[in-house]
Structure 1
Amino acid sequence: MPKFLIHIFALLALVWSGPAFADVQIHFHSVNGSVLFGRYPHTFFVLEGELEETGEAVSENYGFSARKVTPAILSGPVEHMVLAEKPQFIQKTNRHFTMTITDAQYRQIIKEVNAWQNAPGKYYNLESRNCIHFVGKMAEILGLKVEYPGDMLRRPKKWLNHVVGLNPSLGAKEI
């Protein structure tokens, strides 16, 4: 075999054996919930994959809720928290759509999660800062069109289906 062909094959082998392109996916979920069984309707998102810049594995999920579920929720702002769901619970929820995000978008989302978590005072409000608004903010960061119709503020599944309808480029179907 001529030497120049050996060099070409060696060069091609280097190109093909380079680092794989990493990515992080974000999945948008809803929980049907049931007041009778102690789990209210809810929405949250899951981040999983690998950061391209560092190769760091990502396996996280975030939702937003009142710290305590009491009648005070009905009368205005209450203490808040960012929470994570257990993997076995996530499998039982509705995954509405998935997007692949950049490392920069991932960092922006984590920055926003921290801002909601560390907001001073009582930051959860059933009408204006609930789990839907939290997940909606993340969708807006990713460039999605988001609306908050009043009849959907306590219906996460219906709301995420509405977001799907507003963003046909997602290629997702309503659940």
Structure 2
Amino acid sequence: MRRLLYLLFATLALAWTSAASAAVTMSFHSINGSVLFGRYPHAFVVLEGALDDTGERVDENFGWSAKSATPAVLAGPVKHMILTETPKMIRKTNRHFSVELSDSQYRRVRAMVADWRDQPGKYYDLETRNCIHFVGEIGKIAGLNIDYPSDMLRRPKQWLNHIATLNPKLGAEQI
């Protein structure tokens, strides 16, 4: 009987420890890009882990982009889309830093992604609502200090390095 109680206690303790260690980690990435090779510089986030309250697994990524890469992007707002990357592409990107999200923050990130995705009409704007603005607003949900220097609005890698310097608690190295 004593062994059975010990085994039950050990099992419960292990289950509690596993549940307590559940978390969603959000990583901030940039793609260097090259007009010659079909990818523009880009910023996006990767979310991985599990929710504390439900144990639901999370493995997703979100970026913000124009639906079509045409010269119209230079003239003002164009149709938009949420862009997701393949695991192969993610492995080729720059991972700048990561933060842990609470369940509440994770749900706020998902709500923001849905809100931007579901905006009617033309919502992507190279100067005021590009991938950097999208990732920046997500970063604010995570409690990061965010700003948008005008000379970095088309340089995701440089901008994420800048955000790392604004948030020294991240301990991120410049890429």
Unaligned runs of 5+ in 2: none
C-alpha displacement at 1:140, in angstroms?
0.5
Give 2:137's aligned residue. 137
User: What is the CA distance between 1:7 and its match in structure 2?
Assistant: 9.8
Whole-angstrom CA distance in 2 between matches of 1:7 and 1:125? 63
2:157 aligned counterpart, secondary structure: helix
Deviations 1:19-60 (A, max 9, x none): 312111000000000011111000000001111111111110
Residue 159 of structure 2 corresponds to: 159
Task: In structure 1, list runs of 5 or more residues that go unmatched.
Answer: none
RMSD after superposition: 1.7
Aligned amino acid, residue 143 of structure 2? G
Cα distance in 2 between the residues matched to 1:7 and 1:87:
44
For 1:54, give the aligned amino acid.
T
Equivalent runs, 1:77-156 vs 2, <5 Å = 77-156=77-156
Residue 17, structure 1, aligned to residue 31, structure 2: no
TM-score, length-scaled by structure 2 = 0.92
Q: Distance in 2 between matches of 1:69 and 1:107?
A: 30
Q: 2:112, 2:96 → 1: CA distance?
A: 21
Secondary structure at the counterpart of residue 88 of structure 1: helix
* Aligned amino acid, residue 42 of structure 2: H
Name 1:38's counterpart in structure 2: 38
Q: State the secondary structure of the residue aligned to 1:72.
A: helix
Aligned pair count?
172
Secondary structure at the aligned position of 1:79 is classed as: strand
Deviations along 1:149-170, one digit per CA (max 9) or x if unpaired, are 0110000000000000000011
Shift of 1:124: 0.3
Indicate the residue corresponding to 1:69 in structure 2.
69
Greater C-alpha Rg: 1
